[in-house]
A and B are shown apart, each in its own frame.
Chain A
């Protein structure tokens, strides 16, 4: 028979690894006092594939597709950081057209990522509709990926020295299926008549309205605010101490964006603003990300204009001419022995990156994604360290969720915007 002096023990529960709100394979051990979180201990590594070790056994070019599979929601941005690290060590300049294409696709990727985050975050908290709306636009964005690279997600489009190929002149169209009548087909293909750039331009024109549409669903929604305002508050000093970057840092009111502070590619020539939050809660981070989508869309518009103007004056190259780094043109390879040798050497032995080390970082959708590359002059990296933004953010989960109710953990995981591909690497 229990008396008043009976020991009261906290309750420990397992959250995941198979939980729809865990955003992948997160096993979270929660220590609860009633319904209040006393301690949250995330167990990560269930998706650890050893990308960094694998990269040590492959040539520099062979590791590009691995980058897509890190943060599998912001594929091209990962590739960008990896290619930038190699380019820095090699000391090569990327052609301007390639830089604009990269920036445009970085921002397309950012919208892709934020739409998924928005959809799943809202779904976790109980709003189903936003998810469907967000995925409608994601479909168009993935069509852009597919038109340019042939893959909807894992593109392997950026290569050291530029991008794999220029943007195609036609946009793939929907084909006749027995369920669709001719009028439907014409409507669906209406914005696919021109080039890929035309399709992207059409998207960027209508996307501002779409963001407003998402906002009507959530921003003033009473339930949404009840679930996010005041949840997971991080002060600016704590955000820095915990190593937060990206929207997590900006949500706490710190103006920090690598695209502006340490510009790479052509971000210094583009006009955009950096939204910041005020209180550092989940709701502010939501507002920051929504505004980031608008700003990304602005950047896409500017890139489309530049690329169209560049096409009009005879498009420049999209990858360097240095055949120790980038393959020669197919026609040249078929007719010229020198080019054939370059092609063969590049795809068998691979490129040799000079001895040295460097760190390249991009403003990834989730924060600062960095690649620390150490080369001893071989055709493979000596050590590749991938600095994943989500790794620091998830480490902060314990501190952010203490004292909150168990249902709020889901909201905090949502606001962290974590993807296990890059946390576990």
Chain B
């Protein structure tokens, strides 16, 4: 059976020491937050410490916190969240770091730690514009060839900026500004904690 989250967190503390900014256990899952400057060393330690042995990189994704609770976010905007799994020891860990520069978020690549991050870093670059320094092939991956912008940022509209159609006169496919207006059927609401209690 997997380790209890408390024991896992203790072992992670033993291995990483002061690199952990803060940690949390919720729903039985352990999350730690580290500084972007420590990103590469922390990840290497997590993989190489025998008691932790995070040998499988499950997921790496970007998160844009700028619209958190309708824009009440103080702090840095872009986070990169890494989900790790240890097949050998059967436990999981979530590691988060906030990129220091909101205008040009940069992190070192983890290609040398887990080769599996290759496409995941390309995806975070494509969708959020987070640059992974040292990545050998940081191209866009999911969006169209020649796409402009980073669509999963919160300030990018769901309907996008351009639409594509076939132009019978030019006899080719052209891009033009979108003609549809974005509409919201169900508004996004954050209720106060006591809502509905009576």
Interface residues of A (CB under 8 A from B): 44-45, 48, 50, 52-54, 57-59, 62, 88-89, 91, 240-243, 245, 249, 254, 256, 261-262, 324, 348-350, 352, 356-359, 361, 368, 370, 372, 374, 376-380, 382-383, 385, 387, 391-392, 394-395, 424-425
Contacts and interface: CB of A to CB of B under 8 A. Distances in A.
**Is chain B's binding surface mostly helix, strand, loop or mixed?**
loop
A424 B158 CA distance: 17
B142 A356 contact: no
Interface of B: 2, 26-27, 29, 31, 55-59, 61, 63-64, 67-69, 81, 83, 85, 87, 90, 92, 94, 114-120, 140-144, 151-152, 158, 184, 186, 188-191, 195-196
Contacts of A374: 63
Contacts of A256: 87
Top-3 shortest CB links A-B: A243-B116, A45-B142, A387-B59
A262 B69 CA distance: 33
Contacts of A324: 196
15 contacts: A48-B143, A53-B152, A57-B158, A57-B188, A240-B87, A358-B27, A359-B59, A359-B92, A368-B85, A377-B191, A378-B69, A378-B190, A383-B64, A392-B119, A395-B118
B190 A372 contact: no
Contact of A245 (B56, B63, B143): B56
Given A53-B158, A387-B59, 10 more contacts: A57-B158, A59-B186, A241-B115, A359-B29, A370-B58, A376-B190, A378-B69, A378-B188, A385-B81, A392-B116
A110 to B, nearest CB: 20
Contact of A377 (B67, B69, B184): B69
Contacts of A380: 186, 188
Contact of A382 (B55, B68, B90, B141): B68
B74 to A, nearest CB: 14
B61 A385 contact: yes
A368 B61 contact: no
B115 A242 contact: yes
